[in-house]
């Protein structure tokens, strides 16, 4: 079920009403209803996917009970093998068997591959990582295993963040399903405002940019250098508006049910270097890899070559997490190369606070740093957007060696339409760069406040752009 669909706009009020009006007096019934609603939400695409999420949840829950009964590594190994095995089978089998076949052919062997041709379960990477973090935290002793199966299944399947995050840790989300919840009107109002902001980013920014990017990022032979750069600019804001918009809708929706989800974005395009960008972009995934992969490998507190190895491993695995394609690995390698100079100079944690703190405007130096970091991130998205490495290489050649500055493709598609929406996005996020989301601050004078709300609604629901599926559903 898509957030930006009529079905969801009917589903959410009904679930909200039943959750508080019918099941609000019993924690067990509340959690049971959340599981049922979440399974309906997830099964809306394909009911057979419910088997996978049920298996993933059951394996993680039973491994926790097993560790409570007897602390043995076998429980962790079984949980990791089963859950990662399911993820790998559906997401990577076709890719890796295809690469093996190609390698055998290069070596002179006759090999014929076969494809499963199965539909990738929506959000499988998200709920798999969420379940794994529970097992690993119980094994480490930082979390006590729960004996409440309904609450645990609600933790894994909570529908607002089920298919595209944030990837929640059990230490944050699970206790909220174990404690009584009461309706909080102020929280619900903030949640609605954050959902409105998320819909604005998705519909008015991401969907508009998607249409323009699709028309500009075509055959390199048909594009000018300027139109390619413009298409890349559109995709840069498409993926941000799409993914961070989903996160805002999910977090705001969670507030309606008395659940506080983790922040997943913190104005990443205002970063002053790539290290800061990764502290602000997809925070739940970045911290997951940091805590469960980078630090166990030794992090940066080891020899220089080990630190370089660890950095490349994390970024390459992060790229592979996004999809079974060499372009995602190239995207991860690109960011690793951008990150390494900061790591080796010891400046990767130089910018921990907000830019221009206590000031309305950035300094010239900060503006230059943000511009350079934005350009690097946008260049990285070129690999993310390309279908193949050869296409990415053709785009790079056109971008840096083409020297074709024709503006005709931009005039033909009405490129100017991107600037009002992107400009409003950047303005709101700059003003609210120290807040939880882009319209967290609002005018106290009620007429002006409602005027701002109406402006967002107008941009969201009346800005002409065809609806698009959320990008991160494919991951």
Active site amino acids: 322
Closest by CA to 158, choosing from 137, 138, 142, 172, is 172
> Which tokens sit at 65?
């009970």
**Total count of residues recorded for the chain:** 475
**Tokens 């998200």 label which residue?**
126
Distance CA 344, CA 347 (A): 8
Taking the CB of residue 191, how many other CB atoms lie within 10 A of it? 23
> Which tokens sit at 323?
């999809």
**Tokens 């903030």 label which residue?**
190
Residue 137 and residue 232 in contact, taking contact as beta carbons nearer than 8 Å: no
- SS3 assignment, position 292: helix
Nearest 5°: the CA angle 27, 178, 122 is 95
**Tokens 């809708």 label which residue?**
249
Residue 75 and residue 195 in contact, taking contact as beta carbons nearer than 8 Å: no
Q: Provide the terminal-to-terminal Cα distance of the chain, rounded to the nearest Å.
A: 16
Nearest 5°: the CA angle 177, 158, 38 is 120
Distance CA 171, CA 191 (A): 22
Residue 160 and residue 256 in contact, taking contact as beta carbons nearer than 8 Å: no
SS3 content of the chain, % helix, strand, coil (to 5): 70, 0, 30
Distance CA 357, CA 450 (A): 28
């Amino acid at each position: 079920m898509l957030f930006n669909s009529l079905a969801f706009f009917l589903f959410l009020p009904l679930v909200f009403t039943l959750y508080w009006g019918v099941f609000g007096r019993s924690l067990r019934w509340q959690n049971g209803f959340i599981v049922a609603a979440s399974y309906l939400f997830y099964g809306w695409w394909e009911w057979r996917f419910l088997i996978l999420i049920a298996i993933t949840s059951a394996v993680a829950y039973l491994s926790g009970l097993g560790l409570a009964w007897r602390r043995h590594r076998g429980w962790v190994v079984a949980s990791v093998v089963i859950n990662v095995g399911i993820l790998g089978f559906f997401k990577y089998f076709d890719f890796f068997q295809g690469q093996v076949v190609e390698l055998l052919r290069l070596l002179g062997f006759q090999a014929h591959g076969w494809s499963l041709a199965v539909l990738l379960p929506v959000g499988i990477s998200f709920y798999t990582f969420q379940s794994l973090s529970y097992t690993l935290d119980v094994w480490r002793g930082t979390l006590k295993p729960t004996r409440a199966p309904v609450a645990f299944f609600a933790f894994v399947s909570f529908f607002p963040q089920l298919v595209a995050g944030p990837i929640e840790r059990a230490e944050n989300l699970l206790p909220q399903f174990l404690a009584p919840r009461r309706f909080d009107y102020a929280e619900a109002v903030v949640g609605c405002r954050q959902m409105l902001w998320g819909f604005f980013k998705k519909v008015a920014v991401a969907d508009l940019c998607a249409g323009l990017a699709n028309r500009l990022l075509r055959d390199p032979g048909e594009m000018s250098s300027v139109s390619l750069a413009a298409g890349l600019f559109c995709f840069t804001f498409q993926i941000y508006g799409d993914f961070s918009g989903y996160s805002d809708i999910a977090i705001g929706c969670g507030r309606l049910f008395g659940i506080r989800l983790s922040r997943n974005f913190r104005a990443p395009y205002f970063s002053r270097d790539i290290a800061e960008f990764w502290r602000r972009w997809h925070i739940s995934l970045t911290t997951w890899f940091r805590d469960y992969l980078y630090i166990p490998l030794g992090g940066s507190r080891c020899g220089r070559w080990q630190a370089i190895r660890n950095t490349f491993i994390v970024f390459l695995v992060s790229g592979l997490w996004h999809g079974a394609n060499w372009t995602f690995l190239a995207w991860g390698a690109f960011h690793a190369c951008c990150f390494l100079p900061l790591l080796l100079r010891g400046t990767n944690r130089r910018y921990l606070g907000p830019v221009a703190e206590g000031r309305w405007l950035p300094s010239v130096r900060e503006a230059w740093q943000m511009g350079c970091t934005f350009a690097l991130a946008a260049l990285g998205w070129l690999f993310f957007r390309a279908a193949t490495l050869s296409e990415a290489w053709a785009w790079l050649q056109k971008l840096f060696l083409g020297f074709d500055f024709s503006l005709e493709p931009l005039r033909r598609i009405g490129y100017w339409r991107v600037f009002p929406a992107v400009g409003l996005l950047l303005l709101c996020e700059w003003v609210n760069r120290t807040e939880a989301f882009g319209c967290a601050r609002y005018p106290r004078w009620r007429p002006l406040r409602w005027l701002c709300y109406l402006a967002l609604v107008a941009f969201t629901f009346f800005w002409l752009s065809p609806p698009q599926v959320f990008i991160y559903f494919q991951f």
